[in-house]
Structure 1
Amino acid sequence: MPFIEESDLLELHKDIDKAQIINERLLDQIKYKNREIKKSRTQRNVFASFTILFLLAGLGVATYFAGVTRSSSFNKSNNMVVTSIDSLEAVRTRLNNLQKQNEELSLVKEFYLAKNFLEKEKIYSVQVKSFVDNNVTLASEALTNTLFVKTNPFYSYSLGNFETLEEARLFREQLLKIGFDDAFVASYQNGKRIQIEDPN
């Protein structure tokens, strides 16, 4: 295994720590949005219950007054029924408000679906070594952003978790400069290696 200068190792640790901080921020944002989704679902259910009760009560009152109005407001000369325009406007306004709230909830649902998609997204890492046995400890548990994955019949050790292939390739170039001649970029999904990526 090649010799690593202390300054190069510190730079690698800094890069890995930066990536970990970004990942932690994204996880915090996802947790916050999940709380908002749960809260909005509860509010939506309560709101829907009250809306249904309100509409049923309004329908009952409207049918009662429609019967009374029909019998007392029938214009004998034109044979027309007089109805209240204000009540129709109130119903239209209420329907418009419900449509706006439904659009907002659709946006929240789209975010939740995007979060589920990102959890299953593939990541890129730079493999630096592989072993026959899995009892090799290359780094302390304090060092994060590393992968130790079984790829039959070997166990592979990779550094860094990157969202894009370009980021992983740049990190690989840094490793090559300090002596990791066998380093290559591989893609992973759900904790398993998918493929070895083209170095260019």
Structure 2
Amino acid sequence: MPFIEESDLLELHKDIDKAQIINERLLDQIKFKNKELKKNKVQRNVLAGITGLFLIGTLAITSFTAGLSQTNYGAQDQYVLSDLDSLEAIKSRMDNLKTQNEELSLVKEYYLAKEFLEKEKIYSVQVKSFVDNNITLASEALTNTMFVKTNPFFSYSLGNFGTLQEAQRFREQLVDIGFQDAFVASYKDGKRLQIEDPN
């Protein structure tokens, strides 16, 4: 194991503290986004209900006026064209709501997966430890990473696997590309349980 200067350890500790603050801010943002998602879902459901009532009302009025004005064909054509325009607007709004619903579903799936990972025993390959929480190493595109406090260090791990064998295969790939000190560890509730056998 290489020798680390005390000044380097202090710098690493400062970096970990900064990253921990960033991580706490990100968690606060996630909580805020969850509240926003719930609020948007309620708004979407209310809007869908209002849209449905509007559509039913429009169809009821259209059928009622069509029955009364069968002799006046010019006026009936005007009502039909007006109703078709409003139906197109409703259809467009419903398509927008469907797109928003799909986006909300993706976010919900992400949070459900995160909750699952925190409750089940998983395996991950630890590639680095820092005295400071250096969260700047992670890209937002890397959703399959973990930062875990293992006193007095912060561990940086890649991959979330359901079986030890999957994690060991991934570790071998990481060793092949240069991460010689990588090892597999098991986690539950966001805490490391143990370091696993490398084979």
Query: Quick check: 1:19–1:161 contact (8 Å CA) kept in 2?
Result: no
Residue ranges of structure 1 left out of the alignment (5+ in a row): 76-80, 129-144, 148-156, 174-182
Alignment correspondent of 2:108: 112
- 2:67 and 2:194 map into 1 onto residues whose CA distance is 71
Matches within 5 A, 1:21-60: 21-60=21-60
Task: Kindly report the root-mean-square deviation, in angstroms, between the aligned alpha carbons of the 2 structures.
Answer: 4.0
Runs of 4+ in 1 over 6 A off after TM superposition: 169-173
Normalising by structure 1, what TM-score?
0.59
Query: Quick check: 2:184–2:196 contact (8 Å CA) kept in 1?
Result: yes
Amino acid at match of 1:35: K
More helix by share: 2
- 1:158 and 1:172 map into 2 onto residues whose CA distance is 22
In the TM superposition, residue 159 of structure 1 has moved relative to its aligned partner by: 2.3
In the TM superposition, residue 118 of structure 1 has moved relative to its aligned partner by: 3.2
- 1:127 and 1:197 map into 2 onto residues whose CA distance is 17
Alignment correspondent of 2:185: 186
Alignment correspondent of 2:84: 88
Amino acid at match of 2:153: L
Q: How many residues align?
A: 157
Indicate whether 1:160 and 2:154 are aligned.
yes
Residue ranges of structure 2 left out of the alignment (5+ in a row): 130-147, 160-170
Alignment correspondent of 1:177: none
Aligned to 1:53, the other structure's residue is in SS state helix
Aligned to 1:193, the other structure's residue is in SS state strand
Which protein shows a greater Rg?
1
In the TM superposition, residue 8 of structure 1 has moved relative to its aligned partner by: 4.1
- 1:127 and 1:164 map into 2 onto residues whose CA distance is 10
Aligned to 1:23, the other structure's residue is in SS state helix
- 2:116 and 2:155 map into 1 onto residues whose CA distance is 14
Alignment correspondent of 2:63: 63
